[in-house]
Amino acid sequence: MYVYVIVMVWKRYAQYESQSVQFIDSHPDKADTGSLLYNVGSKTKAQCAHHLPTVVQLIVEDKIKTDIQATAAVSYILAHAMKDLNRTELEKECGVGIIVTPAEIEETVKCIIGTYKEKLIIERYQFPVGKILVY
């Protein structure tokens, strides 16, 4: 499965095929990386393909770790297809280095719900959920 995913991504950009084979040989335990590479390869347009090696490098270096970050990377390179790529700006746009733990998410949700708890109990299904979502 992992090899298939890498090959599918790189078939689209055959010039990088040897790099993908080297990656597969040296990182057989990274199944998530294959999924990210597939997503990037399937979402990348031809006009920004010349920026693809930078995004792939960020994935291989474990700087891009989630589908959301990969999607942000593709959006960034698409928006900057005709410009030189600023790697620092790309990393910032993708949220490289930002890690949110499940405990942090749970604490934030508790805080937000706690802020509106009384109104939620009183208004129940009539409570405007948008207040919570934009908090």
Q: For residue 4, give both structure tokens.
A: 């298939």
What is the average pLDDT across 52-71? 89
pLDDT score, position 90? 93
pLDDT score, position 122? 92
Alpha-carbon gap, residue 99 to 101, rounded angstroms = 6
In the chain, the N- to C-terminal Cα span, in Å, equals: 41
Alpha-carbon gap, residue 128 to 119, rounded angstroms = 10
Predicted confidence (pLDDT) per residue in 31-50, tens digit: 677 788 888 888 888 888 88
Q: Quick check: pTM over 0.85?
A: no
What is the average pLDDT across 56-79? 90
Q: How far is CA 113 from the centre of its chain?
A: 28
Residue 43 contacts residue 74 (beta carbons within 8 Å):
yes
Predicted confidence (pLDDT) per residue in 75-107, tens digit: 999 999 888 889 999 999 999 988 888 899 999
